[in-house]
Each structure stands twice: as structure tokens, then as C-alpha cells.
Amino acid sequence: MQLSDMKIIITGAGGGMGAHFATRVVEAGGQASVCDLGEEGLKALADACASLPGKLHHQVCDVSNEEAIGKFVDWSFEQMGGLNGLVNNAGLLRDGLLVKKDRNTGEIIKMSREQWQLVIDVNLTGATLMVRDVVAKMAGEGQSPGVVINMSSLARYGNRGQSNYVAAKAALAANTVTWAREFGKFGIRVGAIAPGMIETPMTRGMNEKARNALVAAVPVGRVGEPEDIWKAVQFIIECDYFTGRTIDVDGGLTM
Ligand SMILES: NC(=O)c1ccc[n+]([C@@H]2O[C@H](COP(=O)([O-])OP(=O)(O)OC[C@H]3O[C@@H](n4cnc5c(N)ncnc54)[C@H](O)[C@@H]3O)[C@@H](O)[C@H]2O)c1
């Protein structure tokens, strides 16, 4: 598939990597229909894309809301005059140990059900319902070829303090295989990317010491940039022989 032919939904594009991916698609002459939780980042992105060759369409949509997803997918199809791609990018963190002992009081503290559920609702259930509705639309409207890209994470291999996020990101990588097998007959490929540590609002708040320790462990010696991950997105879109795999783009951190 060519970038200039893309009519692609990108979730969580009000900032970070999603905004970067959308800009690259529109720069190449394609169309992107993007969503996020709030209007502000989407408006800034729309302004930045206004003079580019392609088109950007934007709407507020909470991917943890099933009804909102259905409406956004239908709206995107109408705006773009079709739909042939999805970058399932929206995500959030609510890190914490599953069980910890308070240093001062010795009290045992458990991760709350809410802390678990929010991350699962957005990063896994929301992402899955987005794949379901996008693929249903593409298959129902005879849109082929098509491509779905899931944003997993190096956390898919397991990471201390991230039980909720690990569960979501590992499931997305595993279901990339499931969905590649299921959707091949519709002419739809499915790939995933598992980024290492990338410079975005998600990682900017990280404590300096933890950040330096992490960077020291990255064989290429630096934090990744959204452009590093865009190169993998572009590869999955353009390589018609790629499906069912997760690409680790982590500077070698998880070798
Ligand atoms: N930055 C990293 O180091 C890193 C590493 C591995 C994986 N990832 C994954 O890459 C993706 C993009 O991450 P990022 O670093 O750009 O993060 P980010 O926080 O900068 O951007 C994520 C976007 O998703 C949006 N979002 C959150 N909940 C939403 C919801 N319910 N509905 C719609 N939008 C919602 C946020 O508002 C935000 O704009 C995420 O799935 C993240 O888990 C990031």
C-alpha cells in the first residue's frame, strides 16, 4: 500500500507518537482521521497539517467507550470517502506494583481493581473494539487491501510495576497473530510495533535517575524518537508481504 492512498484512522493522536504518524501520512498526501480524549491537541495538529498535501479529519473519541468507537469509525469512513487502515495508538499508563509493602507502616497494599481496569479498558478492550469495528467496516464495504497496526510495547515481555499495561500490550501482540490469521481472507494485514522508551509526553514525566539508568541499558545509547517508530509504521503499511508479526523497535533494549 502507498502512503498517498491511505485513508487511515489513528487513535490517540492529540500528541506524542499519534500526532507524528498523522503528520507523516498527511505530508505524503494521504488522509488521516484522528481522535483523542480532548479537543486541544487535535486542533493544534489540524493547524499544523492545514498546508500539507493530504487531509486531516479530527474528532474527540474516548476509545474506552464502545458506542463512541462505532460512531467515530462511521464518521471517519464518510469524511475520508473510504477506510483502509488503522493505527491503534491510544494508550495510557497507571503503573504500580500488584502487591507492595509500605516502607513506613509495613502495611500490605494491593493494586486497586480500578487501576487495573482503566489500563485494560483503554489499552486492550478499546484497542480490540477499534480493530473489530474498523475491520467490520472495511469488510462490509469491500475495502481491500487494508492494514491494521497495533501499538504494543517492550512491556509485552513483562515489566516490574506494570501488571496492567503488560497484560494489555502482550495481549495486543498475541492477537496481532490471531487477527492476521482471521482477516487475511478480507485482504487485511495486521502488524504490531513494540517500542522501547520513546520521547513523548508519556515518558517525559519519568524520574531523572530511572531515565538515566534506562538509557544506559540501551545498546544504541539514546531514547527513541517518534520518527524511529514512524519508520516501522511506514514499513508495515508499505510491505504487502508483512502480516502477523510484532516489530520490536527499542534500540536493542530487549535483546
Ligand atoms: N512513549 C513510549 O516510550 C512508549 C513505549 C512503548 C509503547 N508506547 C505506546 O505507544 C502509544 C503512543 O504512546 P505515546 O508515547 O505517544 O503516549 P502519549 O501519552 O504521548 O499519547 C497517547 C495519547 O493517547 C490518548 N488517549 C489516552 N486514553 C485515551 C482514550 N481513552 N481515548 C482516546 N485517546 C486516549 C492520550 O490523550 C494521548 O494523547 C501508546 O499506546 C503507548 O502505550 C509508548
The Å distance, Cα 108 to ligand 1 centre, comes to 31
Residue 198 gets which letter from DSSP?
A: B
pLDDT in tens, 203-247: 988 888 888 988 999 999 999 999 999 999 999 999 999 999 999
Q: Ligand 1 in contact with 202 (CB < 6 A)?
A: yes
For residue 28, name the pLDDT band (cuts at 50, 70, 90). very high
Ligand 1 atom 19 nearest Cα: 202
More confident residue, 1 or 204: 1
Which residue has the CA at smallest separation from atom 8 of ligand 1? Answer: 153
Residue 38 pLDDT: 96
Cβ of 25 closer than 6 Å to ligand 1, yes or no, is no
pLDDT mean over 102-111 = 97
Ligand 1 lined by 251 (C-beta under 6 Å)? no
200 CB less than 6 Å from ligand 1?
yes
pLDDT attached to residue 11: 99
d(CA 23, CA 21): 5
> Does pTM surpass 0.95?
yes
**pLDDT category of residue 199 using cuts at 50, 70 and 90:** very high
Asked if residue 198 has its Cβ within 6 Å of ligand 1, the reply is yes
The residue nearest atom 28 of ligand 1, judged by CA position, is: 91
Ligand 1 atom at minimal distance to the Cα of residue 123 = 41
Look at residue 134 and tell me whether its pLDDT is greater than 90: yes
Mean pLDDT of 22-43: 98
- Residues with catalytic function: 165
- Compute the distance from residue 197 Cα to the ligand 1 centre, in Å: 12
pLDDT per position as a tens digit, 63-101: 999 999 999 999 999 999 999 999 999 999 999 999 999
Q: What is the pLDDT of residue 35?
A: 98
Per-residue confidence (pLDDT) for residue 205, from 0 to 100: 80
State which of 62, 92, 215, 228 you would mutate to test the pocket of ligand 1, scoring each by most atoms of that ligand within 8 A of its C-beta: 92
pLDDT of residue 161 exceeding 90: yes
Among 2.60.40.10, 3.40.50.970, 3.40.50.720, 3.90.1300.10, what is the CATH number of 3-248? 3.40.50.720
Find out whether the beta carbon of 23 lies less than 6 Å from any atom of ligand 1. no
Q: How many CB atoms lie within 10 A of CB 91?
A: 25
One-letter amino acid at 169 equals K
